[in-house]
Amino acid sequence: MLFNSFEFLLFLPIVFFLYWFILQKKLNIQNSLLLVSSYFFYACWDYRFLFLLLFSTFLDYFTGIKMEESKNQSVRKRWLIISVGINLGFLGVFKYYDFFATSFAGFLMNFGLNVHPTTLNIILPVGISFYTFHGLSYVLDIYFQRIKAERNFVEYGVFVSFFPLLVAGPIERATHLLPQIKKARTFNYGQAVQGARLILWGLFKKVVIADNCAIFVDAVFPAYTDASNSQLILAIVLFSFQIYGDFSGYSDMATGVAKLFGIELLRNFNYPYFSRSIAEFWRRWHISLSSWFKDYLYIPLGGSRVSKGKQIRNTFVIFLVSGFWHGANWTFIFWGLLHALFIIPSIFFATNRQHLATVAEGKFLPSFKELFQMIATFILSSFAWIFFRAKNMEEAFGIIRTIGKGHGKIEQLSSAYPIAAVLIMLIMEWQSRQSSIPFSHIKNKWIRYVTYLIILFLIFMMGAFINPRSFIYFQF
């Protein structure tokens, strides 16, 4: 069930009506409704994998209680290893087994050994990387005694599987989300309005920006050998906005839907294409994943409290793991490696903590220096996106080589819609860059209402609803 589908357009109002108008002031029943609705939402993708979600939830719920009850550190560690091992085992089998099997066979072929590995060729359960990381953060926080184990299974189940964030995040923390689930919630009109704005803007970014960019990108990338230089460069730029519109659009809608139910999710994007360095880009892009790796991997490795050499090592580890998290393909690993290489100079010269404030804060336009920095950062990130989008390394390097000698055999493709939509988005987000809520810069309510109508008009005129495109991050 896609956020941009008619099914969800029916599902959301029904759950909202039951939640606020039938079950109001009955917290346990409200949470039960959220849990059942979340399982139904997930089952609409593929009910066969619902057992994986249930098993993972029961495992971590039970593990958390056992770790808290035990006073023996070795027993606590044993339970942690069981939980982490099983969760990563499932993730490894479903997401990475075929990759390792074929990669190992390819490695042996270099020595003249022809091996035909057995591959599983199974469907990747949607959202498995996200709900697995929810559970891992929970058991790790209990192990390190940052939180207490949750005894109410319904409340814990909602934390893991709350339907707005279930299939593509943001990756939540028990310290942030569980207290909200356990607390009685009352309808807040202002919060609901903010949620509606986020849903509207997220839908615009998905169906107008991402889906229109995808038409051009999907035509050029597979036929890169026949594309012209300008077509390839434009396809790379449009993919940068496609993946941003797609993923941040999902995150906006997820955050907006959660607000309708009185729940605040972690912010996942903070206008990353207005970043002045790659380090700042990663403080603004997929924030929940970046902070997860920072807290559970980077800091335990020593973080920035170690020598420059170890800081660089830790940075490579983080970005390589981040690339591998995105998918079982060498392209993702190389994408992570590139970002590590881009960010290393800022660590070496201790400039990675610059640009913590919003660009051109309090100003209408950026300075020439800030504009140059933003363009340079966008070029670097767009170059790395080539590997993220390519099917394999051969295609990625082929695209780069072809840019220098494109022949332009592909028929002319219309790019007016996506370019115009991207410009609208950039203008709107630049004006809203100091707020997490879109349209907040428009103070006059009548101008704001007209803006809503224009955005709705563009959504219905340019959006693809008959055969809606899935979100890119559902494959991760």
Catalytic residues: 326
Q: What is the CA radius of gyration of the chain?
A: 23
Is residue 205 within 8 A of residue 463, CB to CB? The reply is no
Cα distance between residue 372 and residue 385, in whole Å: 20
Whether the bond between 438 and the residue before it is cis, its omega within 30 degrees of 0, is no
Is residue 3 within 8 A of residue 252, CB to CB? The reply is no
Report H helices in 18-152.
27-46, 50-69, 73-91, 97-109, 128-143
Report H helices in 165-295.
174-182, 189-203, 211-220, 229-260, 278-284, 287-293
Tokens describing residue 379: 């070029």
Tokens describing residue 422: 């991207």
Say which residues have a Cβ less than 8 Å from residue 284's Cβ, sequence separation at least 6: 269, 270, 271, 272, 274, 275
Phi, psi of 386 (to 5 degrees): -55, -45
Q: How many CA atoms lie within 13 A of 465 on its CB side?
A: 15
Place of tokens 């592909």: 410
DSSP 441: T
